[in-house]
Amino acid sequence: MHTLIAANWKMHMTRSQASSTVQELLQKLEGSIPANREILILPPFTSLETVSGAISGKNGFSLGAQDFYPAEEGAYTGEVSPEMLLDLGCGYALAGHSERRHFFGESDDLVGEKLAYGLEKGLHMILCIGETLTERNQGRVREVLTRQLHSALDSERVRSALRSGLSLAYEPVWAIGTGEVARPEDIEEAHALVREELRTLLPQSADRTAILYGGSVKPDNTSQILGIDNVNGVLVGGASLKADSFSAIALG
């Protein structure tokens, strides 16, 4: 399975900042990305075209969106459809990032709808799941991850559109943007649990489905995290905003 190194730029970067960051990244990484690695950049909507133009034709680089609305077109003020993203060269999209779930109130049902719809439209979807600190302290990690996985993946629509590509991202909410990294044993346990649930839910593709870890990944913890069983990549927020740190992670 190849390793996916994803940069979630969140609500950062004007077009000119995006352009200089991606040029710097290309300078540092072009020609040195191992054959089994893919670098995925998830800029805000406004910089998708800029990044798309810069990485077009570059080996090992892909483009994705942080979110979309699951409809073809219509009266959905402020929203963007999968068709619009595909038109800009996006191959990937996230569903269920914890900031969407917690700041914008996205329910398991809406996340599931986005996941199924994105797959049906041909996007490789990355489903993000993770427990809050309270849930972890209450010993509810298994319950929360299982609920999030079943509610998004236990669906005929998902099973029949899987050829578009599916990855998972385990992102403990308390480790996102906090500098707090989950302990290797916690990551290993959570990823093993996700793999086990995938085998039940999607037996044909479970072992080919990448499970990324996200939560305060930095250049100095990347290789340890990537060495943990069932970790097939990382989803990086803060440390993806500077070409220096993200290129070190990409090669780490």
Most distant CA pair in the chain, distance: 48
Which phi and psi angles does 65 have, rounded to 5°? Answer: -110, 150
In the complex with ligand PEP, the residue whose CB is nearer, 168 or 236, is: 236
Q: Work out which of 215, 226, 228, 245 binds ligand PEP, going by CB under 6 A.
A: 215
Site mask for ligand PEP (CB under 6 A), range 172-191, x = bound:
----xx--------------
Count of chain residues binding ligand PEP (CB under 6 A)? 13
Closest by alpha carbon to 144, among 77, 82, 98, 210? 98
Interface with ligand PEP (CB under 6 A), residue from 217, 228, 231, 249: 217
Query: Is residue 212 near ligand PEP by the rule CB under 6 A?
Result: no
* Closest distance to ligand PEP from the beta carbon of 63 (Å): 17
The answer to whether residues 119 and 125 touch, using CB atoms and an 8 Å cutoff, is: yes
- The answer to whether residues 189 and 142 touch, using CB atoms and an 8 Å cutoff, is no
Question: Does 126 contact ligand PEP by CB under 6 A?
Answer: no
* Contact flags string 53-82 toward ligand PEP, x per CB under 6 A: ------------------------------
Distance CA 141, CA 25 (A): 36
Cβ distance to ligand PEP smaller for residue 64 or 214: 214
Q: What is the CB neighbour count within 10 angstroms for residue 204?
A: 9
As beta bridge partners, residue 8 has 42
Task: Single out the residue of 4, 7, 8, 85 in contact with ligand PEP (rule: CB under 6 A).
Answer: 8
Q: For ligand PEP, which stretch binds (CB under 6 A), given 27-35, 109-117, 221-229, 230-238? A: 230-238
156 contacts 196 by C-beta, under 8 angstroms: no
User: Of 216, 222, 230, 245, which one interacts with ligand PEP (CB under 6 A)?
Assistant: 216
Tokens of 28: 């540092």
What element of type H or E holds 42? strand 37-42
Kindly list the residues in this chain that would bind ligand PEP in the complex (CB under 6 A): 8, 171, 176-177, 214-217, 235-239
